[in-house]
Amino acid sequence: MKKILFVCHGNICRSPMAEFVFRDMVKKQGISSEFIIGSAATSSEELGNPPHRGTKEKLREAGIRTDGKYAVRLEPRDYQKYDYLIGMDKRNIINMNRICGGDPEHKIQRLLDFTNHPGDIADPWYSGNFDVTYREVLEGCRALLLYIQQGGRK
């Protein structure tokens, strides 16, 4: 069982998008039972809120629902609970390390770092462009799943 937690600033745009895209991928491959997948925030300002309207609309276009998702905060105990803690940008990684007290097991990584062009996932909260974010999240999730299926080798 692989346990993955996607993390962004507020847990209303990028990380729930990644959570539900990844859930959809493993469901379509018939391997949902091999994963526990969640998402969380590094901040507390959106706690209890559902995914952003733009995230819900973009995922709905892809046939993916976000029912029952409300923003939660990353907790120090999540470091031991999950195998992979996947941030969306450098700032998330800094905050994840702070919250978790470091990363001695090298579980904290950026999503696009699993692709051929490492970097930050565009934040649609600022850009308003959920299409770009979705494309990046989709690419990152595909690469992460391949990485896991290959036994953790790039």
Which active-site residues does the annotation give? 8, 14, 123
Q: Read out DSSP for 6-18?
A: EEESSSSSHHHHH
Helix (H) or strand (E) holding 42: none
Q: Which helix (H) or strand (E) holds 19?
A: helix 14-28
